[in-house]
Structure 1
Amino acid sequence: MRIEMRDISKAFGSNQVLEKIDLVIESGQVHALMGENGAGKSTLMNILTGLFPATTGTIYIDGQEVAFANPQLAEEAGLSFIHQEMNTWPEMTVLENLFLGRELKTSFGFLDQKAMKTKAEAVFKRLGISIPLDTVIGQLSVGQQQMIEIAKSLLSEISILIMDEPTAALTDRETETLFEIIASLKQQGVGIVYISHRMEEIFKITNLVTVMRDGIVVDTQPTAQTNPQELVKKMVGRELSDYYPEKNARIGEVAFEVEKLTGEGFEEASFYVREGEILGFSGLMGSGRTELMRAIFGLNKKTSGTIKIASNEVQITSPSQAIQQGIGFLTEDRKEEGLILDFSIKDNMTLPSTKDFSKNVFFDEKTSEAFVLKLIERLRVKSGTPQLAVNKLSGGNQQKVVLAKWIGIAPKILILDEPTRGVDVGAKREIYQLMNELAERGVPIIMVSSDLPEVLGVSDRIMVMHEGRIMGELKKAEATQEKVMELATGGH
């Protein structure tokens, strides 16, 4: 299959996101699509697969003009898009999610459970997935849900598979399995469009790389003929030096302390974080890092242990109580828990701070507007207007909106769970710089991250978890990837 996208433009109101894009995608190749968040990568693929129409432009498949009215028609034509944000139904089982809208039926019109299970098990075996088909999706980790999405796409005969940040929530082993699947699909003649910000992945598995910036295509060339520095320069329009900016914050007194905290997924967790300190939390998927942070914020239940802020014990059984205590929490799943997607940027940013903008019973629109515009400018959110619905933003810009929401409460403690997941190299540096600025103001920051170089590059200290327990603590000067991984796999 050969796809040609010619002169594709797209605007959401006054926000021009694509302008006269030309792109060729062919079967049997892994074609990387790179660019900063807001460059237009996902929007371009959404147009290709019929999620919404182009403002101008034409799409050809093997020389024939096409325009899919919806993603289902695109899938029937052999195009499948695995989105960065999971498209799952949390209350339904794995099997029900896999075959939703594509159910297999018997000759009498009943659901053919046996045939669906057989087909699903064959795909799971191919992907190395060992999740029971009757498991409720909401009980799975983000990484496991991502593998289910990949499996779903392979249930159909596909010619072109689009993957948007597919490894963002996967373990190293799951990532290697995915790369094996991609190599196998490539040999079978399937074309892969691979959207990613991870340079090592681009140079490991792709044949071609197209760089987009501000809604236009900057360049397309064989991956082997370029290098990471050149790609970064094309993506951001400048050299990106000092990937992890220098941190100059003065580390003060202990500001936040957890003692022998136990809950579902973790036990006997004890740690502290000082004023101006960035405390990294590392560990493999399922180690209990996220569960611990959710319990601290009141999202998950705690069964024992204490939490202290400025040496004073506090009781937190709900997120509202956590916010009252000055705790901000950027969750791992921004789509389900971090944002109200059909609300505007302004409404999302001011949600935890509504009381601060209220005079008596009236909301102070002027003050809140100035507040939001300042945050948009500071975090470089590509929006056009604060009134734009958040679901119209790229994944990285949505992440910035969530971050802005918590910065807006002037937090006493800030917890960041995977703060740069799905975020481009330029925006990552902006987030690191913002974390440093907050630390310089004395804000203690707890950062959970699966990106080991990020943990090593940003943290002042690192706590490592394994199977629900904190295995050890490493100071920045002594921390190495080998030492972190030894603790993360159960060593001492």
Structure 2
Amino acid sequence: MKNISRVEIRHLYKSFSGVYVLSDVDFDLKPGEIHALVGENGAGKSTFIKILSGAYTKNRGDIIIEGNKVEHLNPHVAQDLGIITIYQDRNLISGLTVGENVLIANEPKGKTGIIKWKKLYDRADEIFNLLNLDLRARDRIADLGAAEQQMVEIAKALYKKAKVVIMDEPTASLTRFEIDHLFNLIKRLKEQDVSVIYISHRLDEVFSIADKVTVLRDGKKVGNWKIGEITHDSLVKAMVGEEVRFTFVDSVEKQDAVLEVENISRAGAFSNIDMTLHRGEIIGIAGMVGSGRTEVALALAGIERVDDGKIIFKGEEIQDKPFNEYIKRGICLIPEDRDLVGLISLMNVAGNISLASLKKISRGPLLRLLLERQIAEKYVNILNITTQGVTQKVKFLSGGNRQKVMLAKWLSFGMDLFLMDEPTQGVDVGAREEIHRIMKDLVNEGKAIVMITSDFDELMNMSHKIIVMSKRQIVAVLNTSQTTQEEVLSFAIGKSVETG
């Protein structure tokens, strides 16, 4: 059976409003194979998996599942065939228990139709034991972290007797330690002959977990390789169409301190945080989800108050100032969830860029729309934002371009300190490097950056100094040029570092 493909796709085409987003795409997936699907934003990956999961219908082409051609594929048929998709935005009901989510629509019932709750929870626990998961069926989804919710989705897929599991950016909100746990789980799926289509912008993950990789670019298949047949640089070139130079920050001589944080604490969030940030410097903050990293950023941005300690910006204590005073002085936050709290997705590009500068573009109660447009066009050009124009709604931009719009909003205001929480999460390799180059340009101009990231390559390449947090406090301050990813991870998960 290993020689029979679990999924064959031949000459697949799909168009929207007459524009083809997939053209003549072939794909082959074997039983028990982990097959990565990569490409830049807009390459056609999402459309491809939505066709395979039955959410979209193809224009033409053949979809063959275990030797049988499937003509009318919809979500119900796809699930009946064992094709389960785990999207980046998880499909769980937070008010229900873990067991209820796993067995939803398949609850064991008696003759009267009443759910047999003990049997339901026992069945869920059997699956968790099979996958060696530290989950309890009676816990509520709302009480679980992102990594645990990801595991619940995989348990759901296994309960539904999945033959193909499609994972769309499964590690977007996970830490390095949690990613390692996820990879062990994917390997257990492989051992049970489940096939996995793995979609990720993080190419180090592709080389760690995949057996094969297929590249899409502009809706066309560029090629597919066994993972040992292609290098990292060659894969990037296949995705982008040209060589990409990776960005690294240069060592810098210390300039004036722009931010001094002295022993700040907030009950239940973090304690005894100290740091000094100079102009032209990037401090990276590493740690597990829940270590207090984001809470520190919110405090440094003035969004959350501190109970004790001092925040000194450009020589002035500001910890007791209101949030708007932080912005006036030149401190901004680039939040992790750009769509929920960073941008207004239904507003156009120009409107989002001008949000922080409304006084500048207003005359009395009226907006000077021509000036707003001119400012927006200026930053669209400076940051190389790919858009149909500044009147295009932000929700139609790629993740990388939405991130650049959020940066443009604060650049137009003239900020000096940028607090960036996961600045390249969910963006493709080309956009990631563009954002890194923007960050490097900022510090070369004398700006300062505090960067929170779960991406260890980003941490090592884009930080001058690394602060590691664990259990809501700082456990290590490391010189990036003198440390390793392994040392950072050891501190982050609370293990002692071996020496010798």
Query: TM-score, normalization: structure 2?
Result: 0.85
Using the TM superposition, give the Cα deviation of residue 95 of structure 1 relative to its aligned residue in structure 2, in angstroms. 4.7
Kindly provide the CA deviation profile for residues 421-447 of structure 1, in whole angstroms up to 9, marking residues without a partner as x: 233332222111110111122221001
Q: 1:342, 1:390 within 8 Å by CA — same for their partners in 2?
A: yes
Instruction: Report how far residue 111 of structure 1 moved.
Output: 4.4
Determine the structure 2 residue equivalent to 1:468.
Answer: 472
Query: Does residue 250 of structure 2 align to residue 247 of structure 1?
Result: yes
Is the Cα contact below 8 Å between 2:12 and 2:22 reproduced in 1? no
Q: 141-150 or 131-140, which moves further after superposition?
A: 131-140
Return the match for 2:194 from 186, 190, 195.
190
Q: In structure 2, what is the Cα distance between the partners aligned to 1:289 and 1:74?
A: 40
Answering whether residue 430 of structure 2 is matched by residue 430 of structure 1, we say: no
The 1:457/1:95 distance shift into structure 2, 3 A limit, reads same
Which residues of structure 1 form unaligned runs of 5+? Answer: none
Instruction: Assess if the C-alpha contact under 8 Å between 1:466 and 1:490 holds in 2.
Output: no
Residues 116 and 255 (structure 1 numbering): CA distance in 2 closer, same or farther, change over 3 Å?
farther
Q: Which residue does 2:181 correspond to in 1?
A: 177
The aligned runs of 1:123-142 (5 Å cut-off) are 123-133=127-137, 137-142=141-146
- Return the alpha-carbon distance in structure 2 between the equivalents of residues 334 and 96 of structure 1: 31
Does the alignment pair 1:2 with 2:7?
A: yes
Q: Distance in 1 between matches of 2:352 and 2:130?
A: 41
1:120 and 2:127 correspond? no
Q: Which deviates more from structure 2 when the two are superposed, residues 249-258 or residues 100-109?
A: 100-109
SS of 2:423's equivalent in the other structure is coil
Q: Which of the residues 143, 161, 167 maps onto 2:147?
A: 143
Selected match of 1:32 from 30, 36, 39: 36
Q: How does 1:19-418 map to 2 (within 5 A)?
A: 19-54=23-58, 59-61=63-65, 62-69=67-74, 71-88=75-92, 94-95=98-99, 97-98=101-102, 105-133=109-137, 137-241=141-245, 243-247=246-250, 251-263=254-266, 264-300=268-304, 302-315=306-319, 322-418=326-422
Give the Å deviation of 1:334. Answer: 3.5
- For the 8 Å contact 2:306–2:319, the answer to whether it is kept is no
State the shift of 1:88 in Å.
4.5
Inter-CA distance 233–257: structure 2 relative to 1 (3 Å threshold): same
CA contact (8 A) 1:30 1:207 kept: yes
SS at match of 1:158: coil
RMSD (CA atoms)? 3.3
Provide the C-alpha distance between the structure 2 equivalents of 1:387 and 1:214, rounded to a whole number of angstroms.
Answer: 24
Q: Tell me: CA distance 1:484–1:17, structure 2 relative to 1, closer, same or farther (3 Å).
A: same
Q: Following the alignment from structure 1 to structure 2, what is the Cα–Cα distance between the partners of residues 97 and 351?
A: 40
Q: Which amino acid in 1 is paired with 2:205?
A: E
Q: How much does 1:402 deviate? A: 3.9
Shift of 1:194: 1.0
Amino acid at match of 1:116: L
Instruction: Give how far 1:218 is off.
Output: 0.9
* Alpha-carbon distance between aligned partners in 1 of 2:324 and 2:59, rounded to the nearest angstrom: 43
Aligned to 2:431, the other structure's residue is in SS state helix
TM-score of the aligned structures, taking structure 1 as reference length: 0.86
| Partner-residue secondary structure (3-state), 2:424 | coil
Residues 186 and 473 of structure 1, relative CA distance in 2, 3 Å threshold:
closer
The Cα offsets for residues 113-161 of structure 1, whole Å up to 9 and x where unpaired, read as 3343233323333444435555554554433333333333333121211
Distance 1:109 1:156 in 2: 21
CA drift at 1:467: 1.4
SS of the residue corresponding to residue 154 of structure 1 reads helix
* Distance change (3 Å), C-alpha of 1:141 and 1:185: closer
| 8 Å contact from structure 2 (residues 121, 138) kept in 1 | no
Percent identity for Structure 1 against Structure 2: 35
**Pairs aligned (count):** 489
Q: Name the larger-Rg structure.
A: 2
Which of the numbers 442, 445, 452 marks the counterpart of 2:446?
Answer: 442
